[in-house]
Chains A and B, each alone.
Chain A
Amino acid sequence: MIAPATDVLAPLPVAVPLLVGALLLLVGKVLPGRVPDALAIVAALAVVAIDARLAAHTTRGPLVYWMGHWQPHGEVTLGIGLVIDEAEAILAAFMALLFAASFIFAWGYFEDIRAFFHVLMLIFLAAMQGFCLTHDLFNLFVWFEVMSVTAFALTAYRLEADPLEGALNFTVTNTIGSFLILGGIALAYSLAGLLDFGALARSLAQHADDPVAVGAFCMIAAGLLIKGAAIPFHFWLADAHAVAPSPVSVIFSGAMVPLALFGLGKVYWDVFETVPPVQLLMRTLILGLGVTTAIVGGVACLRQRHLKRLLAFSTISHGGILLIGLALPGPVSLAGVLAYFIGHGLVKGALFMVAGILLATAGGIDELWLRGRGRASWPAGVAMAVAGLLLGGAPLGLMDSGSRLIGAAAAMRGEDWILIAVVLGTACTGGAVLRGAGRIFLGLGEIAGEEARGPSEVESEKPDRPLWLMMLPVTVLLLIAIGAGLFHADETILGAAARFLAWDRIASIEPVGPATAAAVPASSHPFVPWLTLGLAIFIAAHELGHAWLPRSWSRASRRVLSGPVFTAIDRTHDGAVGDYVVWILIGLALFSVSSAAALHAG
């Protein structure tokens, strides 16, 4: 049983940031200098501590907390419940940590508007905590909406033209996503009449072959996948993330997008797993979307020269790998998802901070324009190289644990071919980052005529923060990403995953018993990380070493790279919001066809 003292902590991850945010909104104007920054950092760290304590105390049983003390009335759940599992608490703690790092990075960034940045970010943090910990379907939607609205506002924070257009695309596509989720909730409610996850799951199990249940899942999944930037819903991400201020991009790529994907997993495991056609959809459609996203995201990543856009596509690709992990059943793949989530978030956060450092010190973000200009801030170069190696599959740290576990889960089901997508996506994104590091900080990779294709607008961010202050969070994040593997992370995460799957669905309506953890699986293909890393380094070296390659080779490779597939990928990402909405419709049609097939097969 959970000690009553810990009970009290359950609503605090949401309440504390909201309290501090509201206070800052009230008195922010009269607070001197950096006090809002300090308060925000303290609030984020407090949430980390609370979540860590919740995680430590939920190893023997989940914490079920009913808001307003509304216990279920017979079969009917009257209020909103929180079910806090170790896995969710760990994720929530990680996200709060990322926020704290982002606040430190943003120290002194936003001068003019009084504390508004911190208010918005704190509400953002609270929404993510709520999204992670809730056990009620509509409450999940509410926190999803709060996340969206604060994200929309934060994207447009720099008032030049490009952020506004990126924010517009972001807002329109994600708003359509929320409408879809709302429609799905309405459909699920019409069948079950209740909104608590456990009660819904129990009710939907009795409607196992009802098309309405499948329809509800499709709509909710489509809405979450829009936020999670899976193909074909991903178009908004490159526009929005690339133009948001760097501290905000850290949170977007590090936490928001993977959280939406994890939300899909949460909704699936807690509500819809009892519906067989939905199980089939997860194994086939979602898996397929994950594979496609990983590959296309990786390839598109290589084509970018705007550093933040490159990182945005890398997020898309790694999101695809997360989706693959979610689509595979069992605690091993979920453990892989958790490790990958945290590892990727740490590394991607560090990379966006490096991009912010480059914007501040060198005054640009175009990779070709920056060639050689990063030498003055060489610590950032070291960080970028390390991050590139981690992204590219280096066999140490959390990201490697994650891909290893996901690979093992795929092998256990005999679906080893999935690893090809993981290898390709990882190698392409790692290669792109390594290429960027080599070009910006070492001056390699000169391309003839690069000045003629200069950026349309020279960008910069506030240039007068000291380098050590900006490098501090970068270093901490990377150290955690590498070092967590030394602390038996694998066993902890596997245990958390097994307990989540065994308990989370029923914890609000039934008492739970002990759960057995799976053993750490042996690596099925131990050469895979080395293959990926080698491929990433090869890609980077190939792009950087054009000057030293024989003429015929570079001409042939250039002809391949301007082939129809690659130019098609470039041309579809054209920034017109009408096109993006049409792609959403294509995705919805795909869902319709697949669910019809799944219903037929069942």
Chain B
Amino acid sequence: MTRKVRLLVAALCALVSAPAIAVVIMHIPAFGRHPLPYGDAINHLAGAQRHVTNMVSAVNFDYRAFDTLGEELMLVAAVTGTLVLLRGRRGESLSDRAAQAGNRPVCERSEAVTLACRFFLPLITTFGIYVILHAQLTPGGGFQGGAIVASGTLLIYLGESYRLWRRLVRSRVLDMLEAAGALVLVLCGLGPMARGGAFLQNVLPLGQTGALLSGGLILVENAAVALAVTAGFILLLLEFLEETRATCEGKDP
């Protein structure tokens, strides 16, 4: 179909579906004023049952931890798929050396940029680790904190040089960290079964509400997720950045 035909057909479909969509919108329970039994139950129970104050983390790492397991493995699968796509072309043996920039001019980084990056990198990393560690207390968790830390490492590339980025960020180590994160999460599920509990049952001591070490298994799962997310995202950044370089074989992108 040509562009015009597509738009015409799409407009027709929108027209035909509009009454049904309008009816559904009119009958959706009133925004902000309808009962939320599941949410209320968790809000009232989780604090007493698991000694945590962040209900979202309680849902993610305890009540619905099975979802998180699937989500984590999906992240691992996606990162693996991206690695196959990007590394497979270049060959894995090259992945520990920094490739050249081809015939693209290499800019000198200005001192202001370098200074700003050096200033912010420890701040961002600390903040990211703070978010990870306080998963069960305040908003945050493994996913959020992991993303922060991973993005923070980009400042190494931005402020210093590509060579230093490659020297500090080692893909072999990251591969292992990501796999370790996934493995620990699966073991968090199987471990309680060895003690006679259910899969992913929170059998560790729960600690005191509001303390850094509270929540039992939630802490371990959170750490596993943080590890896998950080490593996974840094791997993605690594591979995509490597794509901007020319390789020994093949043409420039």
Please determine if A and B sit in direct contact within the complex, based on CB atoms under 8 angstroms apart. yes
Q: Does B163 make an interface contact (CB < 8 A)?
A: no
- The answer to whether B76 and A123 touch across the interface, beta carbons within 8 angstroms, is yes
A589 to B20, CA, bound (A): 9
- The answer to whether B201 and A68 touch across the interface, beta carbons within 8 angstroms, is yes
Q: Does A588 make an interface contact (CB < 8 A)?
A: yes
A193 to B38, CA, bound (A): 6
- Interface size band for A: 35 or more
**Residue of B with least CB distance to A212:** B27
Residue in B1, B42, B81, B200 with the greatest tally of chain A CB atoms within 10 Å: B81
- The answer to whether A212 and B24 touch across the interface, beta carbons within 8 angstroms, is yes
Task: Write out the residue numbers on chain A whose beta carbons fall within 8 Å of the beta carbon of B92.
Answer: 112-114
Given contacts A69-B197, A586-B13, contact A80 B67 (CB under 8 A): yes
A380 to B83, CA, bound (A): 35
Q: Does B80 make an interface contact (CB < 8 A)?
A: yes
- The answer to whether B81 and A152 touch across the interface, beta carbons within 8 angstroms, is yes
Task: Write out the residue numbers on chain B whose beta carbons fall within 8 Å of the beta carbon of A537.
Answer: none
Q: Does A472 make an interface contact (CB < 8 A)?
A: no
Q: Measured between C-beta atoms, what is the minimum distance from B249 to chain A in Å?
A: 14
A80 to B89, CA, bound (A): 41
- The answer to whether B70 and A127 touch across the interface, beta carbons within 8 angstroms, is yes
- The answer to whether A153 and B78 touch across the interface, beta carbons within 8 angstroms, is yes
- The answer to whether B10 and A582 touch across the interface, beta carbons within 8 angstroms, is yes
Q: Does A491 make an interface contact (CB < 8 A)?
A: no
Q: Measured between C-beta atoms, what is the minimum distance from A89 to chain B in Å?
A: 17
Task: Write out the residue numbers on chain B whose beta carbons fall within 8 Å of the beta carbon of A18.
Answer: 69, 73, 182, 186
- The answer to whether A585 and B199 touch across the interface, beta carbons within 8 angstroms, is no
- The answer to whether B74 and A22 touch across the interface, beta carbons within 8 angstroms, is no
Q: What does DSSP make chain B's interface, helix, strand, loop or mixed?
A: helix
- The answer to whether A157 and B84 touch across the interface, beta carbons within 8 angstroms, is yes
A21 to B70, CA, bound (A): 13
Q: Does B21 make an interface contact (CB < 8 A)?
A: yes
Contact for B9 among A79, A130, A150, A586, CB less than 8 A = A586
Residue in A112, A150, A589 with the greatest tally of chain B CB atoms within 10 Å: A589
- The answer to whether B77 and A589 touch across the interface, beta carbons within 8 angstroms, is no
Q: Measured between C-beta atoms, what is the minimum distance from A220 to chain B in Å?
A: 13
Q: Does B179 make an interface contact (CB < 8 A)?
A: yes
- The answer to whether A156 and B179 touch across the interface, beta carbons within 8 angstroms, is no
Q: Measured between C-beta atoms, what is the minimum distance from B141 to chain A in Å?
A: 17
Contact for B70 among A76, A130, A582, A588, CB less than 8 A = A130
Task: Write out the residue numbers on chain B whose beta carbons fall within 8 Å of the beta carbon of A578.
Answer: 1, 3, 6
Task: Write out the residue numbers on chain B whose beta carbons fall within 8 Å of the beta carbon of A120.
Answer: 77, 80-81
Query: What are the interface flags for B3-44 relative to A under an 8 Å C-beta threshold, 1 for contact and 0 otherwise?
Result: 100100110111011011101100111000011111101100
Q: Does B164 make an interface contact (CB < 8 A)?
A: no
Q: Does A418 make an interface contact (CB < 8 A)?
A: no
Q: Does A116 make an interface contact (CB < 8 A)?
A: yes
A394 to B85, CA, bound (A): 42
Q: Does B176 make an interface contact (CB < 8 A)?
A: yes
**Residue of B with least CB distance to A79:** B63
Tally the A-B contacts, defined by beta carbons under 8 Å: 204
Contact for B73 among A126, A153, A212, A579, CB less than 8 A = A126
- The answer to whether A68 and B199 touch across the interface, beta carbons within 8 angstroms, is yes
**Interfacial residues of chain A within 106-155, with CB under 8 A of chain B in the complex:** 112-114, 116, 119-120, 123, 126-127, 130, 138-139, 142-143, 145-146, 149-150, 152-154
Task: Write out the residue numbers on chain A whose beta carbons fall within 8 Å of the beta carbon of B28.
Answer: 187, 190, 212
Contact for B81 among A112, A153, A195, CB less than 8 A = A153
**Binding-face segment, A50-58, A426-434, A449-457, A590-598:** A590-598
Task: Write out the residue numbers on chain B whose beta carbons fall within 8 Å of the beta carbon of A187.
Answer: 24, 28
- The answer to whether A8 and B193 touch across the interface, beta carbons within 8 angstroms, is yes
Contact for A123 among B17, B23, B77, CB less than 8 A = B77
Query: What are the interface flags for B171-186 relative to A under an 8 Å C-beta threshold, 1 for contact and 0 otherwise?
Result: 0000110111011001
Task: Write out the residue numbers on chain A whose beta carbons fall within 8 Å of the beta carbon of B197.
Answer: 69
**Residue of A with least CB distance to B68:** A142
- The answer to whether B10 and A592 touch across the interface, beta carbons within 8 angstroms, is no
Q: Does A194 make an interface contact (CB < 8 A)?
A: yes
Task: Write out the residue numbers on chain A whose beta carbons fall within 8 Å of the beta carbon of B35.
Answer: 193
Given contacts A139-B67, A588-B17, A589-B13, contact A67 B200 (CB under 8 A): yes
Query: What are the interface flags for A35-53 relative to B under an 8 Å C-beta threshold, 1 for contact and 0 otherwise?
Result: 0000000000000000000
Q: Does A19 make an interface contact (CB < 8 A)?
A: yes
Q: Does A210 make an interface contact (CB < 8 A)?
A: yes
- The answer to whether A67 and B20 touch across the interface, beta carbons within 8 angstroms, is no
- The answer to whether B9 and A585 touch across the interface, beta carbons within 8 angstroms, is yes
Q: Measured between C-beta atoms, what is the minimum distance from B10 to chain A in Å?
A: 5
Q: Measured between C-beta atoms, what is the minimum distance from A601 to chain B in Å?
A: 14
Task: Write out the residue numbers on chain B whose beta carbons fall within 8 Å of the beta carbon of A15.
Answer: 186, 189-190, 199
A139 to B67, CA, bound (A): 6
Residue in B85, B92, B182 with the greatest tally of chain A CB atoms within 10 Å: B182
- The answer to whether B201 and A26 touch across the interface, beta carbons within 8 angstroms, is no
Q: Does B65 make an interface contact (CB < 8 A)?
A: yes
5 more contacts with CB within 8 A, not counting A65-B198, A142-B70, are A11-B199, A68-B65, A120-B80, A139-B67, A585-B10
Provide a sorted-by-A list of 27 A–B residue pairs whose CB atoms are within 8 angstroms.
Answer: A11-B199, A22-B186, A23-B183, A25-B175, A26-B176, A67-B65, A68-B201, A69-B201, A73-B41, A76-B38, A77-B38, A78-B42, A78-B63, A113-B88, A114-B92, A123-B76, A130-B70, A146-B71, A153-B82, A194-B38, A212-B29, A215-B24, A578-B3, A585-B14, A586-B13, A593-B17, A596-B19
Interface residues of B (CB under 8 A from A): 1, 3, 6, 9-10, 12-14, 16-17, 19-21, 23-24, 27-29, 34-39, 41-42, 45, 62-67, 69-71, 73-74, 76-78, 80-85, 87-89, 92, 175-176, 178-180, 182-183, 186-187, 189-190, 193, 197-202
Q: Nearest 3 pairs between A and B by C-beta? A: A153-B81, A592-B20, A26-B179
